[in-house]
Every structure is written in C-alpha cells, then in structure tokens.
Amino acid sequence: MRYFLISSLFIVLISCSSSITKGLLEQTPNKEEVINNYFSDTNKDYVYKAKIKVYKNNLSGLLIIKKINQNHHRIVFTTEFGNKIFDFEYVENSFKLNFLVEELNKKYIINTLSKDLYLLVNQNNIITKQFYSEDQLVYQTKSNDQDNYYFISKTKNNLNKIVMASKEKEKMTIFYNGVDNEIAKDIVMIHQNIKMSINLTYLSN
C-alpha cells in the first residue's frame, strides 16, 4: 500500500495535547517515512462529478484530476457541457493558475481553492509526528504555516480523512468514502470557518 511505509518504531507512550489527536498515543516517526494521497497514478484520468460551493457561488460540473509526472498535477473543473470554470496546475510546491472564470477571480477565492486542492493531490509529505489508537494511525505533516493530519484506517489500510489546521485549530477537513483499488469514490471537503465546500463523486471509466 503506497500511503505509508511500515517500519519498526520506538514507541513513546505519551498523551497528545492537540484536540485533533485527543485520546491518541504518540510514537516516534521514521525520518525517512513519507505519506502520499490518492491521485498518484499517471496512467489514470480521475474524473468526478462535482458540486462546489464557494461563498455565494454554487457550481456543478466535472472535476478532472491528472497526475502528469512526479509532483506534478493538473486539476480542471468544467461544466457538464465542457465549458471551463477553472484550470489549476501544481508543480512541486508551486501553483499555476491557467484559467479562472471572472466571477471566481478574487484573491481570497483563489487562495482558498488552491490550498484545498493542493492538499487533495499533494504527494511525498514528510511526517513530523505520528499517533495511533487501536483502529487508526494519524500522521502529522507541515505545509507552509499549517499542519495537516492524515488519518489511516488500520482495518482497511487506507486514508479516510485529512484535517488541515492552524495552531491546532481545524480549518478544513477532507473525508474519503468508498475507497476501492486506491480510488476514493466519494470525497467531501468542508471548511469549518467559511462558506465553502466541495463534494466529489467518482465516475467510472
């Protein structure tokens, strides 16, 4: 499974202070260990039926995610008739705006959307802290000024949630459901402090 590499770890049995990892125990992460998200196959075009609420804008259409090569993703959102709504590209840690419809072309919308979708496809995240319970593993990573928490189901051995946080306060959560063959069939992205959400339903090829 590509989401994480299991290795022998020295376990430190201490409680966690963060509300996000409350009730979990902490263990020392392997410095060479990284965690990946879905959307890691360059041979696939990931196509989802999408509903996106961005402040006062309610949009629906198709979201296409393509991994072009290592650490390079392109995300295009179109209407069901093929009219482009936005076209984002991520190479390493850089973001490129290829296209955005005028009604969404506001700095705060671009910043929020670009961070959300970067978290959705970002690969090779270095683990800074690691937690566990009887049924799950949680990996903490850092990206710019925020911490991201990856929740892994031990029973299903897959990624089922990511929490984006700032100073241990939840900002946005990604939920993954119906994971099959390393594809998340249903994805929900919800902000805790602003009116913005993304709902994705996978369309089989």
Q: Is the CB of residue 148 less than 8 Å from the CB of residue 123? A: no
Helix H or strand E encompassing 174: strand 169-180
Query: 25-202 in CATH: which number?
Result: 2.50.20
Residue 14's pLDDT is 39
What's the pLDDT band for 11 if we cut at 50, 70, 90?
very low
Read off the pLDDT of residues 151-160 as tens digits, 9 standing for 90 and up.
Answer: 999 999 999 9
Q: What mean pLDDT is predicted for residues 42-49?
A: 96
Q: What pTM was estimated for this model as a whole?
A: 0.89
What's the pLDDT band for 149 if we cut at 50, 70, 90?
very high
Gap between the Cα atoms of 101 and 87, Å rounded: 10
What's the pLDDT band for 205 if we cut at 50, 70, 90?
low
Q: Is the CB of residue 88 less than 8 Å from the CB of residue 97? A: yes
